[in-house]
Amino acid sequence: MEEKTTKWLKIAREIQQLAQTGLAFAVTDYEKDRYKRLTELTSEIIEHHTQLEKESVQKVLMKHPGYATPKIDVRAAVIKDNKLLLVQEGTDERWAMPGGWADVGDIPSEVAIRETHEESGFVVKPIKVIGVFDANRVEGELEFFHAFKIIFLCELISGEAQTSSETLDVQFFSLDDLPPLSLYRTNTKHIEEIKLHLNDPGRNTYFD
């Protein structure tokens, strides 16, 4: 089942990538209509395999005009007393390192600082890039857009646990005793790489 899910989603992403890039360079109305139709087909594929309605999916897909490029997700690995800071996501009630999408004009390290403070209440200082990951290699996770994930090892500076409109809880957990993870945001591959960097401060940055 996971292989089938991965295949249809991979196909849908590729069709949408072609449609989005095509629309960015389309000149004639004929070309624009053809590429818009590809977006409609993508929405129909997603509707067929999920509980989402194609109209709402199409609105999401059309919000990202221009040449199709990967989105950037930035996460902060914050360690205190050998425990990792996690926030409970409001969307799926599972846990992840604080972080989120980078906006145009953002400096990556500043995204880690901002998102950590907004989602957890803590002020941190990025000190090292742990890794750059392909974020679309999680079996069974539904994400329409291709993304890269940057994880920063961060030093805790100040603050106290505080939830936000996006988070339900904020806690530090032992790396060997973690709660259910929101896998698209934080998965076991990320956790294992964090452990390796903590055990070997001189370890090189991981990359896919």
Write the pLDDT tens digit of every residue in 110-159. 999 999 999 999 999 999 999 999 987 555 454 667 789 999 999 999 99
Domain that holds residue 18: 2-61
Q: From its phi and psi, is residue 121 left (phi > 0), alpha (psi between -120 and 50) or beta?
A: left
Same domain? 50 vs 77: no
Position 144 scores a pLDDT of 65
pLDDT higher for 134 or 83? Answer: 83
The CATH number covering residue 142 comes to 3.90.79.10
Give the span between the Cα atoms of 56 and 49, in whole angstroms: 14
* pLDDT tens digits, 4-20: 457 888 888 889 888 88
Q: Which residues pair with 70 in a beta bridge?
A: none
Which of 61, 79, 107 is the last residue in one of the domains?
61
Question: Considering its fold, how many domains does the chain have in total?
Answer: 2
pLDDT at 107 over 60: yes
Mean pLDDT to the nearest integer, 9-33: 87
Verdict on whether the full-model pTM lies above 0.85: no
Tell me, what's the pLDDT at 80? 96
Distance separating the N- and C-terminal Cα atoms of the chain: 25
* 119 and 175 together in one domain: yes
Residues 53 and 85 in one domain: no
Per DSSP, which regions of 22-166 are E strands? 71-80, 83-89, 95-96, 99-101, 122-134, 147-159
Same domain assignment for residues 137 and 183 = yes
Q: What is the DSSP secondary-structure string of 169-195?
A: EEEEEETTS---B-TTTS-HHHHHHHH
